[in-house]
Amino acid sequence: MDPKLLSHAKSYIDALARGVNPLTGEAVPEGDVINQVRISRCLFYVSDVLGEVLKKANAKAAPELATFSPEQLDLTPFVFVPEGLTVTNFVAAINACRPETMKKLQMADVTRWLVAHDYLREEIRGNKKRKRVTPQGQQIGITEQERTGNFGTYYQILYLESAQRFLIDQLSAIAAAE
């Protein structure tokens, strides 16, 4: 299936469903068969189906991204922040160093690995899971600061420069655990 041809056919069906001649752009006379409600609804349905087919055709045409691979990162632009980064900012900085053909590192994969290796622990607070730093996490440079937000007090976890370096060294293990 040619996506360009499908798109062109969909535009014709859309015009007919709206009661417009797709060749001239003029309104079709009231008594014309395409202005009958059942025909118009059928044309809108066919347009929706063509839209779904186009989405699938375009998704297949998009190149498949390679698995995240730390070995292919160009860490030259990575800037270590001594006062600390949140995991969100750390992951964003790592992802800025990857080729566009590679999947992104996910924040959840990093935190899951840190919990599995006892650098962070999960606790239930209210009805939500929260992460807290363990003594082992503190040793590598993970800290937490108590903050107050719109929904009360929370702990912001920061990764100091030593923790950022540690995580970069562990990227292969984190990617493998994914």
- Are 19 and 102 within one domain? no
- Are 85 and 142 within one domain? yes
- Are 29 and 109 within one domain? no
- Are 166 and 107 within one domain? yes
- Are 93 and 26 within one domain? no
Give the 3-state secondary structure of the chain: CCHHHHHHHHHHHHHHHCCECCCCCCECCCCCHHHCHHHHHHHHHHHHHHHHHHHHHHHHHCCCCECCCHHHCCCCCCCCCCCCECHHHHHHHHHCCCCCCECCCCHHHHHHHHHHCCCEEEEEECCEEEEEECHHHHHHCEEEEEEEECCEEEEEEEECHHHHHHHHHCHHHHHHHC
- Are 57 and 75 within one domain? no
- Are 78 and 125 within one domain? yes
The total number of structural domains that make up the chain = 2
- Are 125 and 97 within one domain? yes
pTM exceeding the 0.85 threshold for the entire prediction: no
Per-residue pLDDT tens over the stretch 86-127: 999 999 999 999 999 999 999 999 999 999 999 999 998 778
- Are 23 and 74 within one domain? no
- Are 76 and 149 within one domain? yes
Per-residue pLDDT tens over the stretch 23-73: 988 888 888 888 888 998 999 999 999 989 888 877 776 678 899 999 999
* Percent of the chain whose pLDDT exceeds 90: 58
Per-residue pLDDT tens over the stretch 13-22: 988 988 889 8
Range of the domain at 33: 3-61
pLDDT band of residue 178 (cuts 50, 70, 90) is low
- Are 85 and 115 within one domain? yes
- Are 15 and 54 within one domain? yes
Q: What local confidence, expressed as pLDDT, does residue 62 receive?
A: 65
Q: CA 109, CA 172: separation in Å to the nearest integer? A: 12
